[in-house]
Amino acid sequence: MKKIAVCGAGGFIAGHLVKELLKKGHPVRAVDIKPLNEWYQVFDGAESLVLDLRIRENCYQAVNRYNQVFNLAADMGGMGFIENNKAACMISVLINTHLLLASHDCGIDRYFYASSACVYNGEKQNDPDNPGLKEYEAYPALAEDGYGWEKLFSERMCRHFSEDFGLVTRVARFHNVYGPFGTYDGGREKAPAAMCRKVIEASITGNNEITIWGDGHQTRSFMYIDDCIKGIIDIMYSNIEEPINLGSSEMVSINQLVDIVEDIAGYKLERKYDPDAPKGVRGRNSDNTLIKQYLDWEPSIPLRKGMKKTYDWIKEQMLHQLKSKKETSRFNK
């Protein structure tokens, strides 16, 4: 079994990845900047380290005496976060740069980098009926300001470390991943979790309104976490040398996403639209021609099925928090 370092392990996707790698029998070192009590998932079977990977020396500590690295560490969130924190997103370039240097110096034999669909040229995403973004359409470059440019630059770093030093690197461009054990409030949440939270809050409070950013006609595709984890592992151990899409091709509008959540909840809401809120590109979808060609596979879990699992988990968390608040309030009286 390879000894594997997972960076960003306190986060949503990497936490699920640690779980899967442990299940496969790999020794895992899990690394994140957050205190352990803020990690979404912590596993007794993993060596868990709290390190700021923007600092070069910490990257050496993270990968030393290990064989492989999955880098999913970044300062990021949903559109509301990345549009208002461009500098913070750009600083994540230090994480990938220092991890690549440490991986080269410490003899890492395989390196995975989690990129994003935000690298794609914005002019290719002005139509809600987006036919799907093909990998070559990241150039000529016009990435999402801040976060997208950092991801695109880091992709090139991986490429050149591979070409110049022989480090085997694999890059996947994630398209909107969702599921349990992720952020659903606080400003960093993405659309699927945000919609679940808003509908659950409305059903609890009896409010019949929901605020939607933009006009609701903007489109995206959303990939369930189980599909994402399988894709990460398959790409890591493939012969795919170029960056490749990892996302669902089941595109929906934000209005349709709300329809799905309302149907799951059995609760209809009056929609209010905020045209001034962060809303990102007009239309984005994943073209999966290449991943089907290489791996004869693409994400398969339907959006409604994944959203039901996500909704149920978020509702359980919110009801537990509400119960705890009520008990605390009674205790303090």
From 147, 184, 224, 311, active-site residue: 147
Phi, psi of 47, deg, nearest 5: -85, 115
| Helices and strands in the chain, H and E counts | 11, 13
- Cβ neighbors of 222 (< 8 A, separation 6 or more) are 175, 176, 177, 178, 191, 192, 248, 250, 252, 257, 303, 306
pLDDT value of residue 331: 63
Helix or strand holding residue 272 (H, E): strand 270-274
Give pLDDT tens digits along the chain (333 positions): 899 999 999 999 999 999 999 999 999 999 999 999 999 999 999 999 999 999 999 999 999 999 999 999 999 888 889 999 999 999 999 999 999 999 999 999 999 999 999 999 999 999 999 999 999 999 999 999 999 999 999 999 999 999 999 999 999 999 999 999 999 998 889 999 999 999 999 999 998 899 999 999 999 999 999 999 999 999 999 999 999 999 999 999 999 999 999 999 999 999 999 999 988 999 999 999 999 999 999 999 999 999 999 999 999 999 999 888 777 766 666
Q: State whether the Cα torsion 41-46-51-56 is positive or negative.
A: negative
Closest alpha carbon to 202 in 276, 272, 306, 252: 272
Using a CB cutoff of 8 Å and minimum separation of 24, what contacts does 206-212 make? 208/268, 208/269, 208/270, 209/269, 209/270, 209/271, 209/272, 210/258, 210/269, 210/270, 210/271, 210/272, 211/272, 211/273, 211/274, 211/277, 212/254, 212/255, 212/258, 212/271, 212/272, 212/273, 212/274
Tokens of 111: 């390196």
> 237 an active-site residue?
no
179: region left, alpha or beta (phi > 0 left; psi from -120 to 50 alpha)? left
Cα dist from 108 to 4, 63, 199, 238, whole Å: 10, 8, 45, 17
The pLDDT tens digits of the residues spanning 27-44 come to: 999 999 999 999 999 999
